[in-house]
């Protein structure tokens, strides 16, 4: 075991991938000399050189598309997009090429590409650097969407993502990079298909992912002090969704609250809620609750940003509202 940050765990994962497979390379804005906007790739340029740690121009569409082309050409690119808001400049490449080529070509051309990007609020970066748009990506058939919320997943999800023959998106919540903890030295190769139960409980199920997992766990802790036993599920894979883990939990607890930093309307939380309703309706003691971000462009001022985000009391209240 050694003490690492989420950032370092991610860096270890990238380093390991570069060492294991010569087809792997990293490209994106400021990943090289600068060391990565969030310092994830610090030192990798010196270690692996400019061919494999490629600084790109501010051309999201071109370098994401080039990642798709390089994947078609036999390489295993890791493309870093600074933040999810910037990924909108590459949506054409993602939706119209990465997600469609295998299908349109009748199975001839798959796209083994990994795209990493930062998501979420909490750092006073206002309305063009703070949104949680991963839910939009989960709408798209043909891609896998991951949200590592723990050090183990930051360390372990990248390699299996690179082994996937199809495009994989990894959403890293910006407030997680400095989270520190103990990580096993051989913590590689996580499962990327299933949700995980992060806390056991039997009176309500709180479903969270990425940046909201800690908030959900804190809420469960508070509920425990109040005598309510809440289970916490970390979705981990946002597409495809591990509905089985979610539904089997809800069937036991009879109450569900979905926590999502995305907006409520037409969101990932709506999808999770719908699946619970479809598959566990008669096991529910109350309607599915949701705790989401306020439907506003993220404000800069600290107190307003805090007010916009899901917080522990919101989750606790939502669980109580279900009669627990």
Q: Could you give the residue numbers annotated as active site?
A: 60, 129
* Alpha helices in the chain, H assignment, sequence order: 6-20, 44-48, 60-72, 84-87, 91, 101-104, 134-137, 151-156, 158-163, 213-225, 243-253, 268-280, 302-308, 312-321
109 in contact with another protein (CB under 8 A)? yes
User: Can you tell me which of 25, 48, 136, 159 binds another protein, judged by CB under 8 A?
Assistant: 25
Q: Which is nearer to another protein, 36 or 77 (CB)?
A: 77
Name the CA dihedral angle for 120, 124, 128, 129, rounded to a multiple of 10 degrees. -40
Phi/psi-derived region of residue 103, left when phi > 0, alpha when psi is between -120 and 50, beta in every other case: alpha
69 in contact with another protein (CB under 8 A)? yes
103 in contact with another protein (CB under 8 A)? yes
* 224-283 binders of another protein (CB under 8 A): none
User: Can you tell me which of 2, 19, 59, 244 binds another protein, judged by CB under 8 A?
Assistant: 59
User: For residue 300, which phi and psi values (nearest 5 degrees)?
Assistant: -80, -50
Q: Which is nearer to another protein, 30 or 166 (CB)?
A: 166
Q: Which is nearer to another protein, 72 or 197 (CB)?
A: 72
49 in contact with another protein (CB under 8 A)? no
- For residue 301, CA distances in Å to 123, 206, 230, 307 come to 10, 29, 33, 10
> From CA 252, how far away is CA 166, in angstroms rounded?
35
User: Closest approach of Cβ 73 to another protein, in Å?
Assistant: 3
Coil/strand/helix, residue 24: strand
Q: Exposed, middle or buried: residue 229 (CB in 10 Å: 0-12, 13-18, 19+)?
A: middle
Residue 286, both tokens: 């109350």
61 in contact with another protein (CB under 8 A)? yes
User: Can you tell me which of 31, 66, 117, 247 binds another protein, judged by CB under 8 A?
Assistant: 66
User: Closest approach of Cβ 56 to another protein, in Å?
Assistant: 7
User: Closest approach of Cβ 28 to another protein, in Å?
Assistant: 13
What's the order of all strands across the beta sheet hosting 204-208?
196-199, 230-234, 204-208, 256-263, 289-293
Q: Which is nearer to another protein, 112 or 148 (CB)?
A: 112
160 in contact with another protein (CB under 8 A)? no
Which among 37-45, 53-61, 192-200, 202-210 is the span making contact with another protein, rule CB under 8 A?
53-61
105 in contact with another protein (CB under 8 A)? yes
Which residues contact another protein (rule: CB under 8 A)?
25, 51, 56-57, 59, 61-75, 77, 92-93, 96-97, 101-112, 141-142, 144, 165-166
């Amino acid at each position: 075991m050694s003490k690492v940050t989420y950032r370092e765990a991610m860096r270890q994962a990238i380093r390991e991938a570069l060492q294991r497979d010569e087809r792997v390379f990293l490209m994106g804005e400021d990943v090289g000399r600068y060391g990565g906007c969030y310092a994830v790739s610090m030192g990798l340029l010196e270690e692996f050189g400019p061919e494999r740690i490629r600084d790109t121009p501010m051309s999201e569409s071109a370098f994401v598309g080039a990642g798709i082309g390089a994947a078609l050409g036999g390489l295993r690119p890791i493309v870093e997009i600074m933040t999810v808001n910037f990924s909108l400049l590459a949506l054409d490449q993602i939706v119209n090429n990465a997600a469609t080529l295998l299908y349109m070509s009748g199975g001839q051309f798959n796209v083994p590409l990994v795209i990493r990007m930062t998501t979420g609020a909490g750092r006073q970066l206002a309305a063009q650097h703070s949104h949680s748009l991963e839910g939009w990506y989960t709408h798209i058939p043909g891609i896998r969407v991951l949200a590592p919320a723990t050090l183990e997943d930051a360390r372990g999800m990248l390699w299996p993502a690179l082994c996937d023959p199809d495009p994989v998106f990894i959403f890293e919540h910006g407030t997680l990079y400095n989270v520190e903890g103990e990580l096993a030295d051989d913590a590689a190769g996580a499962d990327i298909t299933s949700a995980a139960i992060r806390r056991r409980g039997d009176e309500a199920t709180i479903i969270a992912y990425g940046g909201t997992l800690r908030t959900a766990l804190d809420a469960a802790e508070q509920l425990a002090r109040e005598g309510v036993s809440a289970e916490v599920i970390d979705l981990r894979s946002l597409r495809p969704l591990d509905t089985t883990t979610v539904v089997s939990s809800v069937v036991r607890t009879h109450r569900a609250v979905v926590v999502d930093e995305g907006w409520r309307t037409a969101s990932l939380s709506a999808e999770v809620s719908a699946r619970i309703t479809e598959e566990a309706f008669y096991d529910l003691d109350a309607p599915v609750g949701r705790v989401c971000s306020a439907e506003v462009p993220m404000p800069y001022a600290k107190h307003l940003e805090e007010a916009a985000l899901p917080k522990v009391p919101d989750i606790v209240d939502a669980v109580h509202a279900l009669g627990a």
